[in-house]
Every structure is written in C-alpha cells, then in structure tokens.
Amino acid sequence: MNRIIIVNKEKDMTSRDVVNIVSKKLGTKKVGHTGTLDPLATGVLVLLTGRYTKLNEYFMATKKEYIAEVAMGYLTDTLDRTGTILEQEKTSPTKEELEQVFRTFPRTYMQEVPLYSAIKVGGKKLYQYARNQEAVTLPKKEVHLYELELLKVNDKSFTFRAVVSKGTYIRSLIRDLGISCGHLFTMSELKRTKQGVFSIEDAFLLDDITKDYQGPKLQEVLDIPVEIVDSNTAFKIKNGCSLENPKKYQAVLFLTPSMEELAIYKNENGILKVDKMIGSEDE
C-alpha cells in the first residue's frame, strides 16, 4: 500500500535500520526514507512506501528544525561525542558570549561538509577517506539558517534550536559556532523536530507502527495544487497522455472524484506531462 509513515526515530539506530524494521512490519520491500538521520540523532524520519517511494523529491523539505545539545571544551573528528577527541580546552564561553554569537552568526554562509559523512568526492564517500586516513579537500556548500535560538546554558554545555535549509549539517554548524567565538564545541545530542510539514507531534515510535497504520493523505502534505478530474480525463491520465494547462500549473496532483490518486504532472513548455504515475493498487 502507498503510505507516508512519520517515525520518531530512537537513538543508536541508522535510518536504514528503521527502513528495514518497517519493511518487515508491513511485509513489503518498497520502503524508503526521505532524509537521513545519524545514529546519534532522534526525531522525525519520514518514510514512503509502495508507489510513494517514487515521490522522494517532493518530500525533500527545504526547511528542517532541530534541537541540539552542545558539549563545550573539546572537538572530535566526527564533530559529535562518538568521535575521537582532537583538541581540548579548560575554558568555556559565558552565557553573554554565547548570546552574542547567536545574535551575530551569519544566517547564510558556506559550510564545510564533515569528513565523516556520505558525501562523495572523486567517486568515494568522505568517511572512506577518513577510515583510510587519506587526505581529501572537504567540499563547501551554501546553507541558510532561518532561525537560530539559544535555549539553555549550563556549565559545560548549552542547547539551541535551529531551522535550517536542506543539506545543513548541524554538527558542522556547532563546530562553526565554536570557531566564531574562539572555543571548541562538539554535538552531544540531536533531535529533528520538524521536516517540512511533518512535526515530532505527528510521529510514531516504531513499536506503535503496525500494518493498520494510516498516515496522512498525499494531498494533505504535498506543496502543489490538487485537481479532481472527470472520468474522461482520468482515463487519459492513466494512459499517460499529455494535457492542456489552462491554469498554468507548474506541478499538479490529479485525483478522481472518489479521491483516487492518479499522477503528478509537471509543466513542460506550456503542456502538462506525466512526472510520476501513482495509481492506487498495492505493490
């Protein structure tokens, strides 16, 4: 069955572990996730099943929200507490210094990708370079911080909330916050609280997901127009025909009057053409 499953991922599990467990629970191999969470991290992990697995690009949210806990006083090779300590210091910034950093840190900047990540350079994943102790130039990419809020400061740690663009590494952001105030920071805990329209309040623990689980409907969560069509147009759509585009859609989800999901069409030179066929039968 085509489903959207919002999981509250627990700690010490990979995103692939979650996919495998849900696949077994639902009795289908057609399960995929829409954005990796590191084993250390918890929180929102959106899974797609059945024909929805073809719609991954529509679920790669432009904004994600995280709550992170930061350990002050040391830096590791993985940029989180699971790594090997590279540097240590005895001093930590004051609450006032941290507040200043959060006020002045740039909201758009070129972020260096962590060495321990799956980004490919020269056809090889970065963590493979790290494991083989091979030198590599780490790529940088532009990231956006839509919101950055200091929540709590303790003696040797602090907690903050961030709403960031797709592809932002929170581990790297934490390192960069430390650099900006001349101190060593390492991520100790991380929770993804939102991914696009999906919130932690909507998420289920793996133990609570069964074959009877019914996730949100596609038309409720996709950020594209929805149009209900007559039987004649539905027949054309099921056969993959191109359609006229009088409403000038860039993308549109077509449904039958009985709310059967047919397909997503995209504009191509003023004509609507099939992007993703969905249908309703189980796979």
**Contact, 105 vs 198, CB < 8 A?**
no
pLDDT range class, residue 281, cuts 50, 70, 90 = very low
CB proximity list for 181: less than 8 A, separation 6 or greater: 93, 97, 98, 100, 101
Region 86-100 average pLDDT: 96
Tens-place pLDDT, residues 224-251: 999 999 999 999 999 999 999 999 999 9
Domains belonging to the chain, first-starting first, are 4-61+197-218 (3.30.2350.10), 63-195 (3.30.2350.10), 224-277 (2.30.130.10)
Confidence class for position 103, pLDDT limits 50, 70, 90: very high
With cut-offs at 50, 70 and 90, classify the pLDDT of residue 130.
Answer: confident
Is 134 exposed, middle or buried, given 0-12, 13-18 or 19+ CB atoms closer than 10 A?
exposed
Place of tokens 């999906």: 198
Name 32's bridge partners.
48
Closest CA to 149 of 196, 103, 91: 103
Residue 203's pLDDT band, with cuts at 50, 70 and 90, is very high
Average pLDDT for the chain: 93
Determine the pLDDT at residue 280: 53
In terms of residues, how long is the chain?
283
d(CA 140, CA 167): 11
Q: What is the pLDDT of residue 118?
A: 84
- In terms of C-beta density within 10 A (0-12 exposed, 13-18 middle, 19 or more buried), how is residue 210 classed? exposed
Question: Looking at residues 144-173, what average pLDDT do you find?
Answer: 97
Handedness of CA 207, 210, 212, 213 (dihedral sign): positive
Q: Which residues are catalytic?
A: 38
Which pLDDT value is given to residue 283?
A: 41
Predicted pLDDT at 36: 85
Taking residues 4-25, what's their average pLDDT? 94
Residue 111 confidence class, pLDDT cut points 50, 70, 90: very high
pLDDT of residue 233: 96
Parallel, antiparallel or unpaired: strands 251-255 and 226-228: parallel
Band (282; pLDDT cuts 50, 70, 90): very low
Q: Do the Cβ atoms of 211 and 27 come closer than 8 Å?
A: yes
Q: How far apart are CA 228 and CA 252, in angstroms?
A: 10
CA trace torsion 204, 205, 207, 210 (10° rounding): 20
50-68 pLDDT tens trace: 999 999 888 877 799 999 9
Flag whether pLDDT at 5 surpasses 90.
Answer: yes
In the block, tokens 């790290």 appear at 130
Cβ distance 123 to 83 under 8 Å?
no
